[in-house]
Chain A
Amino acid sequence: MAGPRTHRQKEIRRHLWIYGLITPYIIIAVFPIYWMAITAFKQDPDLYRMDVFPLWFHLAPTWKHFSYLFTNTNYGAWIINTMVIAAWVAVITLLAAVPAGYALARLRIPGAENLGIAIFMTYLVPAIILFLPLARVVSMLGLQDSWWALVLVYPTITIPFCTWLLMGFFKTVPVEMEEAARVDGCGYLGALVRVVLPVSVPGILTAVIFAFTLSMQDFLYGLAFVAPGDQKPVTVGVPTELIRGDVFFWGSLMAAALMVGLPVAILYNFFLDRFIQGITGGAGK
């Protein structure tokens, strides 16, 4: 009788220790998002005062800051721009990365491993080195001041990463399936399209998510290439357009940030392990 109880007490004590130690990390991580959320719903008189406890409401919560965004700013247009850019980037990324990943994983190309690493390394050439020459490329193509410029440049981030990711993924598809298809008279292309792609849907979906989330992490390209207010993606529009002069309208700024940040953070959260696996080269596979 004494055994299980002391074991249980030990377990409870251990849990209390862990929760106690990890709570500061949770607070540090989440506080800025909490502050964002509560600011977004506070009325202005409630927002700009220092005499009361700031982490809760002292006037009724309001939707005013959210509706302001859609009626008085380009916020709706930025969201649409972001979605359309992401869709194009995903399509371009898949068209390039799926075949390349498959070729590198399966077709026994001489030096495939090194070529894969070389493509992946370009993911690490930072935007800050490329943005000035790319500005020239963008203006030569007449794409300056439109979001098409971003459709052109974001795949430079997503193709290397997704090729690498899919290369790892295609290696896990059993070779026997392809061989069986080829024995049944499929060519290489037939085997790829009819056998490999259908079982690779999870990997391809992951690549789509990364095409989306990685292009949401960009700020520099959007800032440098797209000047007109209605052409910006939301991650650039919110910080550059919602600030008028030196006046900050924190309520609507935080509402705008919250509406973009939260869905992206949640989506990315589910795929974070794949991202880490991708960059550390398949650890824990």
Chain B
Amino acid sequence: MTLSSSSGGPDAAGARAAAISVASRARASGWFRSQTSRRLSFGYLLLAPAVLYVLLLVGAPFVFSLYLSLSDANVGDPVATFVGLGNFRAALESDVFYIALQNSIVFTVVGAIFKGLLGTTLAFLLLQPFWGRKFVRGLVVIPFTLPISISVLSWKWMYDSQFSVINWFLSRIGLIGSYGSPDWPVWLGQPHLALAACIIVNVWRTFPFSAIVLLAGFTSVPTEILDAARVDGTSFMQRFRFVVVPMIAPILLIGFLFDTVFTLSDLSIVYLLTQGGPANATKILPVLAYQVGIQAGALGRGAAISLFLFPLLMPLMILLLRNLRRREY
């Protein structure tokens, strides 16, 4: 408003004919500008709640966790003193940290391989038209839609040391002896089996997600493009390699990154199945961070351990960011 009136002032004092056209132009652009600024201020007003919430409860805590990790803060004593990189050094000097780091990587990588295999084969099956496909699809995605802490309980019961239904099958088909025999697997009590058991639950939960993401990718390829490629005389493999794969690659990458971020930072499966035991065999970084930070009350130490996840997650996030930027509307 001030802009348009100040530009209107000199106009009134100037030559008449010119003044009219300049004034009306000024008024028009002033109207447009005030309209724009009104639109923008309305926009920022609408954005404010979401942006503030995210800044205050994600941004600020993230910065705060950096601060915590550099202090000796603990639950009992609110006054923290600065200890520099002491917490990080302490983590790097403890054996359990390396065990947790290694287990986290094994957990994520082995899990990714198996859910990739199961998810891809399932997606190819679901891509075929067949009677009852929607229903079948609804059934196979159940593991992903169940609340995680709920479905882990069912697995804990299936892994029971004495009444495991898995062992009942294995024993019936003669792979293992009966309860009490030396080859009776105690799923959550033997180090290697326990880690495998946790990976199995993670794979079970997320292979439907891999399949559905892959399906979404396949169905996003317009059939016209495939037809055009066919008219041009390409073979099936060529169409797959040069049309389908490049078109679905970004979607697959996003699905893969999502899953990796969530697998790497998930605490619930291991916490509920084994609490990181036996003898740290399933200790992963999130469980270690929880046990140190909340159960032992050493907030600073815990924050330092959970921040070690960040360099692992960062490259994934950057990749994801670049991918989201490139997508078209």
Q: A: which residues have CB within 8 A of B?
A: 14-15, 18-19, 21-22, 25-26, 28-30, 32-33, 35-36, 39, 47-50, 54-55, 92, 95-97, 99-100, 102-104, 107-109, 113-115, 117, 119-122, 124-137, 152-153, 155-156, 159-160, 163, 171, 188-189, 213, 216-217, 219-220, 223-224, 235-236, 238-239, 248, 250, 253-254, 257, 260-261, 264-266, 268-269, 272-273, 276-277, 279-284
Is B91's beta carbon under 8 Å from chain A?
no
Contact A248–B157 (Cβ < 8 Å): yes
Contact B47–A104 (Cβ < 8 Å): yes
Contact A117–B216 (Cβ < 8 Å): no
Number of A-B residue pairs at CB separation under 8 A: 292
What is the CA–CA distance of A132 and B286 in the complex, to the nearest angstrom? 12
Give every chain A residue within 8 A of B118 (Cβ-Cβ): 25
Asked, given contacts A133-B61, A280-B213, whether A18 binds B163 with beta carbons under 8 Å apart, the answer is no
Contact A109–B130 (Cβ < 8 Å): no
Contact B51–A119 (Cβ < 8 Å): yes
Contact A217–B130 (Cβ < 8 Å): no
Contact A33–B179 (Cβ < 8 Å): no
Asked, given contacts A248-B157, A268-B145, whether A117 binds B47 with beta carbons under 8 Å apart, the answer is no
- Residue B154 contacts which of A19, A32, A133, A264 (CB distance < 8 angstroms)? A32
Asked, given contacts A25-B118, A109-B43, A284-B219, whether A261 binds B208 with beta carbons under 8 Å apart, the answer is no
Give every chain A residue within 8 A of B142 (Cβ-Cβ): 29-30, 33, 265, 269
Complex interface bits, B298-328 against A, C-beta within 8 A gives 1, otherwise 0: 0100110011011001000100110011010
Is B32's beta carbon under 8 Å from chain A?
no
- Residue B324 contacts which of A50, A120, A153 (CB distance < 8 angstroms)? A120
Complex interface bits, B102-139 against A, C-beta within 8 A gives 1, otherwise 0: 00000000000000001000100110101100001011
Contact A36–B49 (Cβ < 8 Å): no
B49: min CB distance to chain A, Å: 4
Starting from the known contacts A224-B294, A261-B146, A264-B145, 13 additional A-B residue pairs (CB-CB under 8 Å) come to A15-B130, A29-B208, A95-B49, A103-B46, A128-B290, A128-B309, A131-B294, A155-B57, A156-B53, A189-B42, A220-B268, A254-B153, A257-B150
Contact A269–B321 (Cβ < 8 Å): no
Is B168's beta carbon under 8 Å from chain A?
yes
Q: For window 143-174 of chain B, which residues contact chain A by CB distance below 8 Å? A: 143-158, 160, 162-163, 165, 168, 171
Is B217's beta carbon under 8 Å from chain A?
yes
What is the CA–CA distance of A235 and B324 in the complex, to the nearest angstrom? 32
A137: min CB distance to chain B, Å: 6
Give every chain B residue within 8 A of A130 (Cβ-Cβ): 58, 61-62, 65
Specify the chain B residue showing the minimal Cβ separation from A82: B147
Binds A, one of B1-9, B228-236, B250-258: B250-258
- Name the prevailing secondary structure of the A interface residues: helix
What is the CA–CA distance of A272 and B140 in the complex, to the nearest angstrom? 12
28 contacts between A and B (CB under 8 A): A14-B128, A18-B130, A33-B146, A36-B154, A50-B162, A95-B49, A99-B46, A100-B49, A107-B40, A117-B324, A125-B62, A128-B266, A128-B309, A131-B290, A131-B293, A133-B64, A133-B65, A135-B293, A155-B53, A159-B54, A213-B145, A238-B153, A253-B157, A269-B138, A269-B145, A273-B212, A279-B254, A282-B327
Give every chain A residue within 8 A of B306 (Cβ-Cβ): 128-129, 131-132
Is B190's beta carbon under 8 Å from chain A?
no
Specify the chain B residue showing the minimal Cβ separation from A236: B149
Contact A22–B43 (Cβ < 8 Å): no
Contact A100–B46 (Cβ < 8 Å): yes
Asked, given contacts A35-B158, A128-B267, A220-B290, whether A134 binds B61 with beta carbons under 8 Å apart, the answer is yes
Is B279's beta carbon under 8 Å from chain A?
no
Is B39's beta carbon under 8 Å from chain A?
yes
Asked, given contacts A119-B50, A121-B321, whether A133 binds B303 with beta carbons under 8 Å apart, the answer is yes
Contact B147–A121 (Cβ < 8 Å): no
Is B33's beta carbon under 8 Å from chain A?
no
